[in-house]
């Protein structure tokens, strides 16, 4: 049985911040990553939460991430914001980009943010969620080191490449939030199973010959199984175009891994599109979204994307989060 300890969200943010700074991250870069870590734990996505802090710290120390990087923001046109993350953490680059993206989207109805020379942005839906809180429809794309083979092939050429869309609601929370990778399951879940010595379900990953496997270590040496077969590959390629080709970032096939210490900075990218629904649909947008949400919730047993994270998020604000003690011990070791 896994031993856990309950922490408040403030505790999680503080622990993350102190560990990142102790590893050599500047306070300006550590704070947005620590805030995101607490939010990720609140949403119940433990694989991208505190469990990643030791990896982030290791990557700062080995040079895979520049913990002191200062993102460079450029606005070549009124509707486009470019950010060079300078091989630093994606979170600080995204925050800097949003400061220019949000007012641009409100002024024009739509604007895009292109980030290059970046790193793992964690839970993509965390970032689109912020755009929804600002009353904007937020679309996000992020590419990752290659781990999915093309249809009919066996050698990975694109990453798990998540996409996300968050739609503003009326209570400060998104009315709906879709956040999914192009693979059947996020690669971090396979890594988590390997770390814990657990088998993975059939359909999560393939071996080097393209055959299904339940051994996470074999799957990590092979490829991730695309969600929906060739359709998942199509989503991964779409995201590669949006987050890498259109931003000037490194293609997944050339990017160094997000795990381990080899290879230097991955220099991957993110793309965000912010749309002001008042500009495109006026009051009809809120009516249409409310109707869509209602017909889904009216169906017994139906799941509305984002509801699971929403309920956990609201509960965590009052009750805290149960965290793996083994993870806490790894982080506390960084501080000693």
**Any residues with CB less than 8 A from the CB of 60 and at least 6 apart, and which?**
20, 23, 24, 25, 66, 67
d(CA 331, CA 37): 13
- Angle of helix 325-334 relative to helix 53-62, nearest 10 degrees, comes to 30
**Do the beta carbons of residue 147 and residue 221 sit within 8 Å?**
no
**Do the beta carbons of residue 163 and residue 204 sit within 8 Å?**
no
Beta bridge partners of 137: 275
Structure tokens at 265: 């900075």
d(CA 211, CA 189): 19
Positions annotated as catalytic residues are 47-48, 189
d(CA 183, CA 188): 11
- Angle of helix 124-133 relative to helix 27-42, nearest 10 degrees, comes to 90
3-state secondary structure of 226: strand
- Candidates 77, 33, 80; CA nearest to 273 is 80
Structure tokens at 276: 């002001």
Beta bridge partners of 112: 80, 273
Residue the block writes with tokens 């010959």 = 209
3-state secondary structure of 63: coil
């Amino acid at each position: 049985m896994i031993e856990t300890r309950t922490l408040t969200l403030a505790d999680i943010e503080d622990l993350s911040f102190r560990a990142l700074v102790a590893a050599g991250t500047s306070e300006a870069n550590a704070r947005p990553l620590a805030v995101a870590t607490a939010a990720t734990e609140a949403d119940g996505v433990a694989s991208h939460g505190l469990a990643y802090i030791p990896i982030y710290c290791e990557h700062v120390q080995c040079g895979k991430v520049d913990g002191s990087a200062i993102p460079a923001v450029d606005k070549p046109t009124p509707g486009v914001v470019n950010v060079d993350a300078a091989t630093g953490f994606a979170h600080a680059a995204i925050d800097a980009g949003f400061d220019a993206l949000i007012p641009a989207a409100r002024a024009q109805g739509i604007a895009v943010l292109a980030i290059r020379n970046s790193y793992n942005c964690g839970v993509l839906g965390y970032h689109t969620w912020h755009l929804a809180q600002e009353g904007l429809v937020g679309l996000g794309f992020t590419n990752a080191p290659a781990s999915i083979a093309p249809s009919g092939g066996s050698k990975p050429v694109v990453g798990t490449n998540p996409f996300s869309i968050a739609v503003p609601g009326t209570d400060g929370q998104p009315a709906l939030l879709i956040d999914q990778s192009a693979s059947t399951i996020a690669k971090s879940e396979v890594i988590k199973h390997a770390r814990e010595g657990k088998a993975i379900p059939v359909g999560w990953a393939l071996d080097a010959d393209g055959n299904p496997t339940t051994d996470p270590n074999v799957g990590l040496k092979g490829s991730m199984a695309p969600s929906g077969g060739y359709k998942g590959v199509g989503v991964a390629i779409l995201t590669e175009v949006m987050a890498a080709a259109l931003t000037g970032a490194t293609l997944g096939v050339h990017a160094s891994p997000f795990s381990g210490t080899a290879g230097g900075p991955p220099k991957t990218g993110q793309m965000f599109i912010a749309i002001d629904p008042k500009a495109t649909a006026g009051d009809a947008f809120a009516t249409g979204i409310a109707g869509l949400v209602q017909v889904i919730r009216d169906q017994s047993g139906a799941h509305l994307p984002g509801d699971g994270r929403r309920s956990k998020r609201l509960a965590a604000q009052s009750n805290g989060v149960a965290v793996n003690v083994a993870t806490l011990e790894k982080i506390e070791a960084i501080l000693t």
